[in-house]
Amino acid sequence: MDRHDLIKILLKELPWNIYWKTREGIYEGCNDRVAKILGLANAREIEGKNDVDLLGEELASLARANDKQVFETGVEQSFEEFGFDEHGEPCYYLTHKKPLFDVNGTVIGLVGISIDISDKKEIESLKVEKEVIQQKVQTLKVAAGSIAHELRTPLASIRFAIAGLKRYFPKLLSGYKKAVEAELIQSELIRKEHLASLETVVPRVEREIKYANEFINLMLANIRFENLTRDNYNTVELGSLLLEVLEDYPFNDGEIGVVNLAHEPSFRFWGHRSHMKNVLFNLLKNALFFIKRCDKGQIQIWCEPGEKVNKLYFKDTSQGMEEETISKIFEEFYSKRSEGTGLGLTFCQKVIESFNGTISVESVLGEYTCFCITLPVVTEPH
Ligand SMILES: Nc1ncnc2c1ncn2[C@@H]1O[C@H](COP(=O)(O)OP(=O)(O)O)[C@@H](O)[C@H]1O
Ligand SMILES: [Mg+2]
């Protein structure tokens, strides 16, 4: 093949935009790709035109600034240049500009080769955006964690004060009543209904403290769980843990009545007792929320031991979920509740996976939501 033809074929076939111009900025040639982008009928039409003719003032001045560097240094260089693609859409080019010399070594022009790197740029900017978001999320998690943590101290003081009140308050009350009976003080000093309410104040405050403490602990657990260490994992008996969960969960009035736990059968699993307790707290908290909101529903909890895996079912017959919700509930920060964080079920999944188990959900809108936790059967060491 003739050398000339080869160059022609190369110019036509290479997947790059190629052009060359004089030091004065006059184009002397280009390949078909460049002609197409510039909206020229063919490659020959570029001859004699300059950057302003082809690109307009603004883009021309940017291109000329880059050219100038190549002309003045005599060294080839790469640039990212803004421009338009063959459909007229804005894009980024990576352009390599190589100086052309005459026989005396004087720079007389340059040849430019460029490719569209918009896709890459987009991926990069998405990456940067993701990193920024992750940093913000991290900061928010730290902030939420420290708020929750800080609240523990005053709560501990209140609990301490309440312990004293619990001891002496009934004595003070009965002293007051006796003084009223003996007409030492007027009975209207404290109205009857206020007196009745005072009698239950201690257990009410105690319950509120327990409620706040349990949910602060749950919040901290949800935020801080890292699926890295499996230190202190061991065999846990689920039946007794379920009882402990129902014992310790800070139920509101009447809530415990909707929970039905099947005591038998039970199984043991390899994992972490308090992580599992927090998983069950999260499931209870969600189910109780929807039962309250919909004013209907019960909770059923039962185990199904198997040969290779054991299963724990957690079902509520409350709101149920739509298909779209079902597919997203384990995503971090996915929440359909205005006061939700979307961390609860993400935490549950991380914990169960750290036990080498799985958690899945089945739900019918308006009917039920059923979580199934699958855990490997524990084999006893001989
Ligand atoms: N028992 C349930 N019934 C119906 N929807 C539920 C139930 N549990 C979870 N969801 C849905 O999953 C979402 C995510 O739950 P979760 O990760 O615990 O976050 P949060 O409780 O902070 O919203 C909830 O906002 C809700 O839309
Ligand atoms: Mg939740």
Per DSSP, the residues of 195-220 read HHHHHTHHHHHHHHHHHHHHHHHHHH
- The tally of CA atoms less than 13 A away on the side-chain side of residue 147 is 9
**Between 45 and 8, where is the model more confident?**
45
Per DSSP, the residues of 121-145 read HHHHHHHHHHHHHHHHHHHHHHHHH
* Mean of pLDDT values over 72-78: 96
Å from CA of 62 to ligand 1 middle: 53
Per-residue pLDDT of 254-282, as tens digits, reads 999 999 999 899 999 999 999 999 999 99
pLDDT at position 297 is 97
Q: 182 φ, ψ to 5°?
A: -80, 5
Structure tokens at 111: 């040849």
Please say whether the beta carbons of 72 and 96 come within 8 A: no
- The residue whose two tokens read 């529903």 is 297
CA torsion 337-339-341-344 (nearest 10°) is -70
Q: Which residues contact 25 (CB under 8 A, 6 or more apart)?
A: 50, 51, 64, 67
For residue 316, give the ligand 1 atom closest to its CA.
1
Whether the per-residue pLDDT at 122 is higher than 90: the answer is: no
Percentage, residues of the chain above pLDDT 90: 74
- In the structure, what pLDDT confidence band is assigned to residue 1 with cuts at 50, 70 and 90? low
- Using DSSP, state whether 66 is helix, strand or coil: helix
**Average per-residue pLDDT in the chain?**
92
**Domain 3-116 in CATH 3.30.450.20:** yes
- In the structure, what pLDDT confidence band is assigned to residue 371 with cuts at 50, 70 and 90? very high
Å from CA of 329 to ligand 2 middle: 10
Per-residue pLDDT of 22-40, as tens digits, reads 999 999 999 999 999 999 9
- The residue whose two tokens read 């002309």 is 71
pTM, two decimal places: 0.70
Nearest to 17 by CA among 108, 111, 123: 111
pLDDT at position 142 is 87
Whether the per-residue pLDDT at 108 is higher than 60: the answer is: yes
Q: 168 φ, ψ to 5°?
A: -105, -20
Residue type, 193: E
Whether the per-residue pLDDT at 361 is higher than 70: the answer is: yes
- In the structure, what pLDDT confidence band is assigned to residue 382 with cuts at 50, 70 and 90? very low
Paired strand residues for 38: none
Å from CA of 228 to ligand 2 middle: 22
Please say whether the beta carbons of 355 and 375 come within 8 A: yes
CA distances to 51, 326, 334, 350 from 346, rounded to whole Å, are 56, 13, 9, 6
* Cβ neighbour number for residue 116 with a 10 Å cutoff: 19
CA distances to 18, 20, 67, 114, 347 from 83, rounded to whole Å, are 15, 17, 15, 11, 46
Per-residue pLDDT of 200-248, as tens digits, reads 999 999 999 999 999 999 988 888 887 668 888 999 999 999 999 999 9
* Cβ neighbour number for residue 173 with a 10 Å cutoff: 15
Structure tokens at 175: 């002293």
pLDDT at position 363 is 98
Specify the residue with its C-alpha closest to ligand 1, atom 3: 320
pLDDT-wise least confident of 11-15, 79-83, 244-248, 330-334: 11-15
46 secondary structure, DSSP code: G
Å from CA of 32 to ligand 2 middle: 60
**Between 15 and 288, where is the model more confident?**
288
For residue 345, give the ligand 1 atom closest to its CA.
17
* Mean of pLDDT values over 105-133: 91
- The total number of residues written for the chain in this structure: 382
**Domain 228-382 in CATH 3.30.565.10:** yes
CA distances to 59, 69, 243, 321 from 63, rounded to whole Å, are 6, 10, 74, 56
Number of helices (H) and strands (E) in the chain: give both, helices first: 11, 12
Please say whether the beta carbons of 353 and 373 come within 8 A: no
What angle do the packed helices 118-181 and 192-199 form, to 10 degrees? Answer: 120
Rounded to whole angstroms, the Cα distance separating 276 from 250 reads: 17
Lining residues, ligand 1, CB within 6 Å:
282, 286-287, 290, 316, 318-319, 321, 325, 329, 334-337, 340-342, 344-346, 369
Please say whether the beta carbons of 112 and 96 come within 8 A: yes
* Cβ neighbour number for residue 259 with a 10 Å cutoff: 19
Please say whether the beta carbons of 73 and 83 come within 8 A: no
Which ligand is the nearest neighbour of the Cα of 370? Answer: 1
Residue type, 173: L
